[in-house]
Amino acid sequence: MPVPPAGFAVRRIGPADAGALVALAATDNLFDEDPGTAPSGTITPDGARHFLADPSVRFWLAEAGGQTVGFLHCCIQRRRTPGPWAELLLMEMGTHAEWRRRGIGRALIAEMEAWMRRNGVAEVWVPANTYAVGFYRKCGFAKDEGEILVKELH
Ligand SMILES: CC(C)(COP(=O)(O)OP(=O)(O)OC[C@H]1O[C@@H](n2cnc3c(N)ncnc32)[C@H](O)[C@@H]1OP(=O)(O)O)[C@@H](O)C(=O)NCCC(=O)NCCS
């Protein structure tokens, strides 16, 4: 196991950082609950640029010693009803398996919340996997009424 870096920094990435997203895709299994699974698959630099240029996408990386050690991806959802203009859907986040429990996940959530405060967004939703529920609770998330359902077309 590598010696962990002394510190890490979180930054929001955009289209100019497509290379970081391409690199992440090659090893994103290491950010999953089970790092033994396969990575999500190759993405092209153009595909990564288009994704990061999408106005509904917000993406933060945590980096240490030139390596990605965590990421958070959320999506801006416009609201139909009065009140804040939008809410966030936290689509995906992960901390590298060897760097968990060092405050990286909490720091990513803090950056997302700082963006929310600056932009008048008051609510964030996450379809959490069971493994991560304790983490989200520590970060102030609470269970909502109802269930999240999914349907996959074949
Ligand atoms: C969930 C995850 C992002 C947490 O990241 P992390 O960098 O380890 O989290 P932090 O170190 O910032 O932890 C913040 C707090 O949550 C707690 N915590 C972290 N993971 C936890 C877990 N799985 N269960 C319960 N508590 C947890 C920490 O102990 C810490 O508590 P403290 O501040 O009182 O000490 C990380 O475990 C991960 O990548 N999991 C695999 C992918 C995943 O499940 N993503 C979420 C998809 S919905």
Question: Which residues line ligand 1 at a C-beta cut-off of 6 Å?
Answer: 31-33, 93-95, 100-106, 126, 128-129, 131-132, 134-135, 138
pLDDT digits (tens, 9 = 90+) for 29-55: 999 999 999 999 999 999 999 999 999
Supply the pLDDT for residue 60: 98
Domains along the chain?
Answer: 9-138 (3.40.630.30)
Token pair for residue 124? 């964030």
Mean pLDDT of the chain: 95
| 6 — pLDDT class (breaks 50, 70, 90) | low
Strands 9-12 and 57-64: antiparallel
Amino acid at 138: K
How far is the CA of 74 from the CAs of 6, 33, 36, in angstroms? 27, 18, 25
The span from the CA of 18 to the CA of 24, in Å, is: 10
Cβ atoms of residues 76 and 88 within 8 Å: yes
With a cut of 90, say whether residue 3 has pLDDT above it: no
How far is the CA of 50 from the CAs of 16, 45, 136, in angstroms? 10, 9, 29
Lowest mean pLDDT among 26-30, 59-63, 134-138, 146-150: 146-150
